[in-house]
Chains A and B, each alone.
Chain A
Amino acid sequence: MENLQIEDRLNLKAKKFLMWLFIIASFMMFAALTSGFIVYTEGNAERGIKVLLPKAFMVSSVIIIISSITAHMAYLAARGLQFSKQKLYITLTIILGIAFFYSQFTAWQALYDSGAYFVNYNASQSFIYVFSGAHLLHVIVGIFFLIYALIGAVRTIPQVRNVFRMEVASIFWHFLDILWIYLYVFLLLNQ
């Protein structure tokens, strides 16, 4: 019995490891996009961002940092068997995630208004949309992970699995946070 329990826990460990590997893979995708940006932009002096990045990106950054904190608090609550707190914090994180979405759309609107269109002879500006769009796709996936964890908490699944889902969701959410900060700083440095 004890052996099998260890086996089961090892399986969860292996599954959690899958999430880390997925993070590496998706980081590689963004590394490719940002290196593509550098290769492209360095190729010609006429290329480059050449506009001020919208203020909304700053708002988004603040939102996603706060959501990362709430995700961590939900994880701590799950560890401490405080399930109502866990549910509250997951819900908060999801709401902040949606707010992040909204804020990114405002940023796109602002970019559009300032003349930095997606369809553009200067593809450096198109890249801004590609970066934030690809990141938003990841945010959708992250929200699904959070909902999955929330469902687990609502249905009171076994604690081992509850913590597992919570941990996977929050690892991914922190990654989204760090990824956005990376992209934002990258764009600021190339402004």
Chain B
Amino acid sequence: MASTAIHDAVVSHQHDDHGHDHGHHKETFITKYIFSQDHKMIAKQFLITGIAMAVVAMILSILFRLQLAWPDESFPLLETFLGEKWAEGGRIKPDFYLAIVTIHGTMMVFFVLTAGLSGTFSNLLIPLQLGARDMASPFLNMISYWLFFLSCVIMMGSFFVESGPASSGWTVYPPLSALPKAISGSGTGMTLWLISMVLFVASALIGALNYISTILNMRTKGMDMWKMPLTIWAFFLTAIVGVLSFPVLVSAVVLLIFDRSFGTSFYLSDIVVAGQVLPNQGGSPVLWQHLFWFLGHPEVYIVIMPALGITSEVIATNSRKPIFGYHAMVYSLIGITVLSFIVWGHHMFVTGMNPFLGGVFMITTLIIAVPSAVKTFNYLATIWRGNLRFTPAMLFAIGLVSFFISGGLTGIFLGNAALDINLHDTYFVVAHFHLVMGCAAIFGMLCGVYHWYPKLFGRMMDERLGYLHFWATFIGAYLVFFPMHFMGIDGVPRRYYAFTEFAFMQEWLTVNVFITWAAIISAIAQIAFLWNFFYSIYYGKKSPQNPWESNTLEWTAPVEHLHGNWPGEIPSVHRWPYDYSKPGHHTDFIPQTTPFSETMSSNLIHDFEGNPEAEHIQQQWDKEHAPERYTPEQV
């Protein structure tokens, strides 16, 4: 009995925390901004860290683009900034070139497009769109961010060690990555890379566990799974993919650490370095590829699915139309989730794989085009004859669809085991994945930033700068990546330091100059975004309650953030989130919180999901007020 009473006391204390203004329980600078357990603050932390990492990774990409465009030219400025070790005489050294390519990939894939994208929007939107006070475990949520931060710091720290950062490509294939003697980046830099990745995986896993548990257990009254916005479906399935695939990377990394530091031979065999035979025998480097790509391929869907979810929401809102094929959208996400686990072999067609097995992986890979195409067509059908509002967010959403199509089409060629003999490890692959998962996902992320900025910071971003940012980035990105297809078809391999050494590659030097200029212009365009983003935090226009006239729950929460999201009771949900431009209603949107009893003039019989009493009431109302809508035969 006594314990029940204590329990009540605990509950009523929590009530104070949540229900009323939070002024009277003390929040210091540290608990509010640094070790915050509030999902909205954690979302901002993820976003700003992600943006910082994106800027670093983008600067790295400009550095190696300079090298590719002008391999014989000297840039004294580079020596000033990078020092003699990495840019002697103003030319980037081969070792450093490989390092920046590696770190660019790692940062973009993991830190920007996994943590920056999922971390930001899952944290912000899951509680707000589902009607929850916070995540299942706010404490673990905080841990998740700080592990991510630590892993970013360690990755950045690898630039400051003697032997330089990891430089065996973002896939860190052994034996190159396992042998410090093979390349200087495989020394301390590689160790730091592995530590950073383990911390990152821990962070991503803790985050994913939280997202899944929150979505399954903490939805508000009336919010059944089929009333969830597509954003939430996407975050949910992304988190499931993460939970099933990230632990596999840990296994792979653990074995690699043993090989590197304890002398085991999981991946190593028959290696001679500088005339010396290494003691490691009997290992299998292909084992790494299996384990790595079992994570690595689902990882690209971890990157793209949240972006697809975000654009579904933004496109429906700004087309003022219900999303086309809501159920098809969900089932195609589920299809992608399932298929993503049985396609990893298409990264390994040329590792001596049994051709029959290659055929199996080819078929599964091509099947994944089906759900992807379903999504694309549904986007187009949603936009078709919509009452379009071209906000910056909408433009970025349309940009995503464009990149997803043009990058996805080349995937059909790459997924073919026979064509892959020619195309693997060429610039064709680089063009493909930069369009379909790089540009598409970053556009999804930027779309989300523009759309939910008012929810994040309570202020609006400047639209004109947004348009400038969009067009410069959109055109720039195509100019960068489109020519790479042709280089790839001509057989130009990726990751090569200079095109001057091979006769057949020299003719592509001029194209490289063009690509580098396009890259520089699109990089400069990001300044418009960064200025807009940081300036608007302090001086942007104050956001109204529901700036985009959207249906979802987050726009019913007060603009000023408060702990627990809603003062008083959590709103309950009565309808799906896509009632835009419903015939018979006086506005072109009906929020999820509006009960059907307030929208008698626009209700349809199928809204009631077979509830005979509600149908009966509606028919009586139709008979009296709108005889043209009265359809007795449907009873």
Contacts and interface: CB of A to CB of B under 8 A. Distances in A.
Interface of A: 1, 4-5, 7-8, 10-11, 13-15, 17-18, 21-22, 24-26, 28-33, 35-36, 39-40, 43-44, 46-47, 118-123, 126, 130, 134, 156, 158-162
B137 A18 contact: yes
Q: Which 7 A-B pairs have the closest CB atoms?
A: A14-B136, A29-B247, A14-B217, A159-B3, A32-B248, A32-B251, A121-B281
Query: Interface on chain B toward A: helix, strand, loop, or mixed SS?
Result: helix
B264 A123 contact: yes
A11 to B, nearest CB: 7
A1 B283 CA distance: 63
A165 B284 CA distance: 43
A149 B214 CA distance: 24
Interface of B: 3-4, 6-8, 10-12, 14-15, 133, 136-137, 140, 205, 208-210, 212-214, 216-218, 243-248, 250-252, 254-255, 258, 262-266, 280-284, 286-287, 290-291, 294
A123 B266 contact: yes
Contact of A14 (B205, B214, B252, B264): B214
A137 B427 CA distance: 43
Contacts of B6: 158
A5 B9 CA distance: 11
A5 B136 contact: no
B10 A28 contact: no
B244 A21 contact: no
Contacts of A161: 7
Nearest to A2: B11
* Most-contacted residue by chain B among A4, A24, A118, A158 (CB, 10 A): A158
Given A11-B218, A14-B213, A15-B137, A29 B248 contact: yes
A10 B217 contact: yes
A118 B8 CA distance: 55
Contacts of A47: 282
Given A121-B265, A126-B258, A126-B265, 4 more contacts: A1-B12, A32-B250, A46-B282, A126-B266
Contacts of B209: 18, 21-22, 25
Contacts of A158: 3-4, 6-7, 10
B244 A119 contact: no
A162 B2 CA distance: 13
Contact of B264 (A13, A21, A120): A120
Nearest to B138: A11
Given A40-B266, A123-B265, A18 B10 contact: no
18 contacts: A4-B11, A13-B217, A14-B217, A14-B218, A15-B137, A18-B137, A21-B213, A28-B245, A29-B247, A32-B250, A33-B251, A35-B290, A36-B266, A119-B263, A119-B264, A123-B265, A158-B3, A159-B4
Contacts of A39: 284, 286-287, 290
Contact of A1 (B8, B252, B280, B284): B8
B264 A156 contact: no
A28 B291 contact: no
Contacts of A24: 243-244
A21 B212 contact: yes
Given A18-B137, A24-B244, A32 B265 contact: no
A33 B148 CA distance: 25
A17 B217 contact: yes
Contacts of B10: 8, 158
